[in-house]
Amino acid sequence: MDQITRAKSLGFSAERLARIDRFLAEKYVGPGKLPCAQFVLARQGQVVHQTVLGQQDPERGVPLADDTVYRIYSMTKPIACVALMTLVEEGLIALDEPVAKYIPAWKDLGVFAAGTGPYLTTPPARPMQVVDLLRHTSGLTYGFQNRSNVDAAYRKLKIENMFGEHDLEAMIEMLARLPLEFSPGEAWNYSVSTDVVGYLVQKVAGKPLSDVLRERIFEPLKMVDTGFFVREDQRSRFAACYDAAPGGKMKLQDDPTTSPYLKPPALESGGGGLVSTAADYLRFTTMLVNGGELDGARILAPKTIALMASNHLPGDKDLTELSRSLFSESTNAGVGFGLGFAVVFDPPKTLIPCSKGEFYWGGAASTAFWVDPVEEVTAVFMTQLLPSSTYPIRRELRTLVYAALMETNG
């Protein structure tokens, strides 16, 4: 089946899908704003369109390939959250349990009131629950937020440093010595919460996080190129990563031949540590859009996926009403947060074509995915440019995709 026939059979205009390639080439890759761009769009589990542009290693003139390996940063988060939900389904942990049940040293965590250490704290209104970690209402933060005395302490201790000397256990111990930014459930703040999810997965399963992810997700889904480091056999496919520079330029941030990703990290970060390929991540998102199953491998039940893809923010509020973060992977009007990703619950407020119940997230190097259960559409975008806020490419891609969707389900 040729590309035009396949697109039409799946409800898309091939002519309009071709706009995606032109757009990415002319606006981003051609002018040197992005080193590369890979975009894969699927409907009903079948690939409708794929774009492969630019170079995986511009310094050495290596062209991008469809099996290039990328740093996916926060696109690790949904994977860690799915792993936790597999344990929830087995009755080994519950969303409403206090986190201190699994991390006793956190039993007396206070809420920041004043100071730079020692800190003046007040008791939280209620204990932190497991669900707070999945939806980022825990009171934890990220050091890069640069907005409070608490995240300054995170920076000083290098809590989020995947390539330092401390492991996940040590990270949890350091967090036990720091106050929360707010009482759990009071606000939404993008944070190391998903690293703590990874720790809970590791502790409850009784084995390293990397082993749990491999056994429960990667092997069943045949995600052969996803892990916490770049294997020897993957090195020739590993992309260079860039920082955005003034004037739409790029500056090399991580050379793939000398990258710390070439060896196992001390800290296996459930919040941002994985490398993957577009094909692997598409298998993960296809499992999600299928209600937890792919090619006979059942990861989660449909009702569990539906629970994860519901808005869990208190009061059914959106992120504009609850967010404390200066940084976020999304534009937030009409968007809530589920158990591991943002969830659209009021499409008109987003000001872009989308479906109610669509869920998505992205990574710091401008990677992104979305899952639309209504239209049975899933998409994965890969590139390597920090920070993700440099260009509005995620919104642009969604607009281009839905402009090409001619036969809708809702």
Residue 212 lies in a domain: no
Answer whether residue 86 is part of any domain: no
**By three-state DSSP, how is residue 99 classified?**
helix
Answer yes or no: do 330 and 232 share one domain.
Answer: yes
Instruction: Give the pLDDT score at 86.
Output: 99
Q: What is the predicted pLDDT for the residue at 88?
A: 99
Q: Answer with the one of 177, 205, 233 that is the final residue of a domain.
A: 205
Please tell me the predicted confidence (pLDDT) of residue 330. Answer: 54
pLDDT of residue 332: 85
**Pair (178, 321) in one structural domain:** no
Q: Is residue 165 part of a domain?
A: yes
- Claim to verify: residue 274 and residue 367 sit in the same structural domain: yes
Residue 90 in any domain: the answer is: no
Low-confidence ranges of the chain (pLDDT < 70): 326-331
Q: Same domain for 118 and 62?
A: no
Residues 132 and 200 in one domain: yes
Interacting residues of 242 by C-beta distance below 8 A, sequence separation 6+:
35, 250, 251, 252, 253, 384, 385, 386
Residue 25 and residue 127 in one domain: no
Rounded CA separation 386/367 (Å): 10
The answer on 137 and 42 residing in a single domain is: no
Q: Please, is 336 exposed, middle or buried when counting C-beta atoms within 10 Å of its C-beta (0-12, 13-18, 19+)? A: buried
The reply to whether 146 and 30 lie within a common domain is no
Residue 1: the pLDDT is 73
Specify the residue for token string 């975009």.
39
**Both 243 and 321 in a single domain?**
yes
The span from the CA of 359 to the CA of 178, in Å, is: 32
What are the Cα distances from residue 138, in Å, to 117, 154, 340, 385? 21, 15, 13, 29
**Domain of 178?**
95-205
Residue 397 sits in the same domain as residue 303? yes
- pLDDT at residue 146 in the model: 82
The confidence score (pLDDT) of residue 31 equals 97
The answer to whether residue 139 is domain-embedded is: yes
Query: Residue 315 domain-assigned?
Result: yes
In a domain, 20, yes or no: yes
Residue where a domain terminates, one of 178, 205, 232: 205
pLDDT the model gives residue 396 = 97
Statement to judge: residues 298 and 350 lie in one domain = yes
Domain of 392, CATH number, reads 3.40.710.10
Which domain CATH number covers 165? Answer: 1.20.58
Looking at the structure, tell me whether residues 129 and 40 fall in a common domain. Answer: no
Q: How many domains does the chain have?
A: 2
Select from 205, 232, 250 the last residue of a domain.
205
Position 328 scores a pLDDT of 53
Residue 146 lies in a domain: yes
